[in-house]
């Protein structure tokens, strides 16, 4: 990331206490704040609170927190915020009332449908990303608002109508700028549509029983979908067992709870719609 952007502040983990220590640095900050792992924070309560605090800061550009432990103020925060979350930690956050109240509509969630590789990877330097923030703020791009509205309604479920439109509009504008287009083309709309397939994945993974009940993130189904992306709709349960480092009994119990069939040791994931999405998602 630092190859392509000048101002990147990387934190291995973060808490409200540590935010206070770097508050001066975050004042008037307009780069990228990258948090690698909230899971390292000790308690579930602090993990959820920290996530909600960071989301609020990025959304409102200002934070004042005053309680018996903390006296924290951050002003004019105009940075982008990227947070890595492991599925188990995300499950905790989703199951908390703060997710719907403070996080869901103020964030865009991207599900990384890739199995980590041990091979070293060198991120390329992409010259088009230089000064991209200035270009995005100052360049005018002609965009078909009806297409954006249709894409927002077709792909996005867990953001308000206004927020989902703004997210998709910004994705289309950014894509057009990177492609050197002053008018968004079919190429730009197609690319954004493939990226938004990630939101259809989310619609399968976030669930709740009623309007007033809490959301749940289906971690087991996420990992089944991940295996299906790599190995197809039928794969031996041992692949999932090894990847998750759990027992055979656990795999079978969760498969039964999710109505996923296991035949002669092979997990069969037969959701044709999701399989098409997994084949095409970026």
Per-residue pLDDT tens digits for 2-42: 777 888 998 877 777 778 888 899 999 999 999 988 888 88
> Which range marks the domain in which residue 190 is found?
127-204
Q: For the segment 184-235, what is each residue's pLDDT rounded down to a tens digit?
A: 999 999 999 999 999 999 999 999 888 888 999 999 999 999 999 999 999 9
Give the span between the Cα atoms of 85 and 32, in whole angstroms.
17
Across 186-212, b (16+ Cβ under 10 Å) vs e yields eebbebbbebbbbbbbbeebbeeeeee
Same domain, 177 and 132: yes
- 83-105 per-position pLDDT tens digit: 999 999 999 999 999 999 999 99
Instruction: Examine the domain organization and report whether 198 and 137 are in the same domain.
Output: yes
User: Is there a domain that residue 121 lies in?
Assistant: no
CATH number at residue 234: 1.10.10
pTM over 0.85: yes
Domain finish residue from 140, 169, 204: 204
Closest CA to 237 of 223, 250, 251: 251
Percent helix, strand and coil across the chain, each rounded to 5?
50, 10, 35
Last residue of a domain, one of 78, 107, 136: 107
Last residue of a domain, one of 56, 75, 107: 107
């Amino acid at each position: 990331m630092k190859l392509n952007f000048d101002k990147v502040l990387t934190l291995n983990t973060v808490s409200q206490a540590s935010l206070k220590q770097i508050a001066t640095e975050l004042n008037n900050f307009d780069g990228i704040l990258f948090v690698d792992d909230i899971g390292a924070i000790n308690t579930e309560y602090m993990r959820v609170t920290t996530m909600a605090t960071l989301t609020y800061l990025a959304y409102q550009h200002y934070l004042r927190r005053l309680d018996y432990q903390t006296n924290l103020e951050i002003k004019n925060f105009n940075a982008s915020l990227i947070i890595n979350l492991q599925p188990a930690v995300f499950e905790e956050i989703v199951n908390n009332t703060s997710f719907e109240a403070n996080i869901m509509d103020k964030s865009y969630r991207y599900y990384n449908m890739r199995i980590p590789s041990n091979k070293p990877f060198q991120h390329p330097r992409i010259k088009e990303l230089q000064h991209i923030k200035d270009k995005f703020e100052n360049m005018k791009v002609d965009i078909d608002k009806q297409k954006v509205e249709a894409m927002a309604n077709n792909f996005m479920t867990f953001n308000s109508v206004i927020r989902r439109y703004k997210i998709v509009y910004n994705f289309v504008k950014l894509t057009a700028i990177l492609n050197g287009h002053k008018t968004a083309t079919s190429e730009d709309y197609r690319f954004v549509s493939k990226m938004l397939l990630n939101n259809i994945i989310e619609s399968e993974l976030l669930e709740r029983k009623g309007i007033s009940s809490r959301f749940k993130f289906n971690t087991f189904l996420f990992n089944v979908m991940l295996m299906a992306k790599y190995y197809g709709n039928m794969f031996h349960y041992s692949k999932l067992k090894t990847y998750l480092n759990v027992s055979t009994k656990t795999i079978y119990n969760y498969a039964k709870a999710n109505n996923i069939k296991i035949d002669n040791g092979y997990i069969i994931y037969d959701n044709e719609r999701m399989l098409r999405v997994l084949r095409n998602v970026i």
